[in-house]
Chains A and B, each alone.
Chain A
Amino acid sequence: MEQGTGKEREACFDQAAALLPGELGVAALRLPERTRERAEELRLRVGQPMEVLLPEGEQPVPGGPAEVTAGMLEQVLEVATQASVHTALEQVRAGYFTVRGGHRIGLCGTAVLREGKIHTLRQLSSLSIRIAHSVPGVGRTLLPALRTACGIRDTLILSPPGGGKTTLLRDLICGLSDGVAGPALRVGVADERGEVAALWEGRPQLAVGRHTDVLESCPKAEGLMSLLRGMNPQVLAADEITSPRDIDALTQASHCGVGLLATAHAAGAEDLGRRPLYRALLEAGIFRQVIEITRKDGVRRCRVRALEGCPW
């Protein structure tokens, strides 16, 4: 897979590092240019030094405090939410939230339960900032496999967490919308977590193409149906299909003559077929092909596989 330009990735890293308070932020911004370009995540654990996740693994960030404290994690939360934790609480309950620029902040700590559900996290213990970045052209070679004469083949992108599903989805959306390898298509994106387009004051922070309509912060199921009713899309896209309601919405949309593009956590098609939730999705025959992203020696590879004839 191609990588984005070093400068763009460095700028994304700097934007994410700006969420870190005081010494942590200074140390992160002092990392060598090459490290900043390749960084995928910044990881903070109470009692441990801050680390940066690179394709080859986690490395300590030199020059920062010897130990991250719980207070520092709270400061990150305060900076990331602009002192408005209440606006992110729904997402915090799910364990992560998305900030300006599309960076995802994952949280761990002591959960406070109410009526058997996570209400909030009382004491933070660790935090990861996953750096969002668009990789222009990463899906270009895959576009011919997606396109048909008048639309696209319904396609599901699969990889384990952190594999680059969202980055690939974003670039495929951009290519379809801008008319790369075929005519430009109207794409509707149900961007529940704000990670695909990262809207800020109505403007996408990450490139999603000229003919793309984004519905952000809306549950995927409702978002997909709303886009279908209101925006007359030729392609509907959604990131991380995780619930039966998402699958119901995709099933409904698939019967409306709209192309579907979505992502799910799975090592591959076989892995997906072993899980009851996705097994139903595969059995319904909604998706005609999958794109599997694998990583070997720090290099990501994509493979398109047809689903016809698979024993689901």
Chain B
Amino acid sequence: MVRALGAALLIAGGLGAGWCGASALDQRVRSLRTFCAALETAQRELSLRLLPMPELLSLLSRQSEGQAGAFFARCLADLPFLGSRSFARIWGDALEGVPLDLNREDREILAQAGRVLGRYDGAGQEAALELIRLRLVRALEEAEERRKSGKKVWYALGITAGCFLAIVLM
């Protein structure tokens, strides 16, 4: 009875480890999706209302969920340091400083937005943001593909590892 319970716990532990690995893939997809939506909002606000950067960042921090919201809030909080730091630097520092479930390529794509925002006319920024957003959408599609196959792999690995440990240790 105790042995059966131990084996079940080991398998469940393996499954849990697999679930943790799979959820990291979920989080990247969720994060990319939120940033894509935020960039779309920024495009719209810049082309229609020419929102100043403090208002735009405030809007994005309120509208975006989780980590993306924290990212825009950090940019907004650091705006008073303009003069000692450029906006591109403030944006870059927030990308480095706020924990985001994004890989290096995703961060590089987002860093480009910091070099564009607030530097050109509304139409120029909108066009540049569109290119960045499209790159981010491609990264999102790739992340979704990876999640689809990766999730199965993680769960399979987890169960296999759990079963293997149960067989070896029992």
Instruction: List chain A positions with a Cβ less than 8 A from chain B.
Output: 18-22, 25, 75, 78-79, 81-87, 89, 120
* Known A81-B118, A84-B118, A89-B121: A75·B83 in contact at CB below 8 Å: yes
Contact status A82-B120, CB under 8 Å: no
Most buried by B among A18, A79, A81, A120: A79
The 9 closest A-B pairs by CB, nearest first: A83-B118, A83-B87, A84-B52, A21-B83, A83-B53, A84-B53, A79-B83, A86-B122, A79-B82
- Asked if B54 is at the interface of the complex by the 8 Å CB criterion, the answer is yes
Distance in angstroms between the alpha carbons of A156 and B28 in the assembled complex: 64
Q: How large is the interface on B (under 10, 10 to 19, 20 to 34, 35 or more residues)?
A: 20 to 34
> Scoring B residues 111 to 142 as 1 if CB is less than 8 Å from chain A, else 0, what string do you get?
00000011111100100000000000000000
- Asked if B23 is at the interface of the complex by the 8 Å CB criterion, the answer is no
From A20, A85, A120, B83 is in contact (CB under 8 Å) with A20
B118 contacts which chain A residues (CB < 8 A)?
Answer: 78, 81-86
Instruction: List chain B positions with a Cβ less than 8 A from chain A.
Output: 46, 50-54, 56, 79, 82-84, 86-87, 117-122, 125
- CB < 8 Å A-B pair total: 52
Contact status A86-B87, CB under 8 Å: no
B121 contacts which chain A residues (CB < 8 A)?
Answer: 85-86, 89, 120
A78 contacts which chain B residues (CB < 8 A)?
Answer: 82-83, 86-87, 118
Contact status A25-B83, CB under 8 Å: yes
* Known A78-B118, A89-B121: A83·B83 in contact at CB below 8 Å: no
Distance in angstroms between the alpha carbons of A89 and B83 in the assembled complex: 20
A21 contacts which chain B residues (CB < 8 A)?
Answer: 83-84
Distance in angstroms between the alpha carbons of A291 and B52 in the assembled complex: 38
B56 contacts which chain A residues (CB < 8 A)?
Answer: 84
Distance in angstroms between the alpha carbons of A132 and B46 in the assembled complex: 30
Distance in angstroms between the alpha carbons of A83 and B78 in the assembled complex: 12
Contact status A87-B52, CB under 8 Å: yes
- Taking A79-B83, A86-B46 as known contacts, 20 extra A-B pairs with beta carbons closer than 8 A to each other, sorted by chain A number, are A18-B83, A21-B84, A22-B83, A25-B83, A78-B86, A78-B118, A81-B52, A81-B118, A82-B79, A82-B118, A83-B82, A83-B87, A84-B51, A84-B52, A84-B118, A85-B120, A86-B121, A86-B125, A87-B52, A89-B121
* Known A89-B121, A120-B121: A82·B83 in contact at CB below 8 Å: no
* Known A82-B54, A84-B52, A86-B46: A22·B122 in contact at CB below 8 Å: no
Closest chain-B Cβ to A113's Cβ sits at a distance in Å of 14
Distance in angstroms between the alpha carbons of A135 and B56 in the assembled complex: 36
Distance in angstroms between the alpha carbons of A25 and B81 in the assembled complex: 13
Closest chain-B Cβ to A216's Cβ sits at a distance in Å of 15
Distance in angstroms between the alpha carbons of A84 and B82 in the assembled complex: 12
A75 contacts which chain B residues (CB < 8 A)?
Answer: 83, 86
Contact status B52-A82, CB under 8 Å: yes
From B46, B82, B119, B125, A82 is in contact (CB under 8 Å) with B82
Closest chain-B Cβ to A273's Cβ sits at a distance in Å of 40
Contact status A85-B52, CB under 8 Å: no
Closest chain-A Cβ to B114's Cβ sits at a distance in Å of 10
Distance in angstroms between the alpha carbons of A84 and B118 in the assembled complex: 4
With CB as the reference atom, state the residue of chain A lying closest to B118.
A83
B52 contacts which chain A residues (CB < 8 A)?
Answer: 81-82, 84, 87
A82 contacts which chain B residues (CB < 8 A)?
Answer: 52-54, 79, 82, 118
Distance in angstroms between the alpha carbons of A20 and B84 in the assembled complex: 9
Closest chain-B Cβ to A235's Cβ sits at a distance in Å of 32
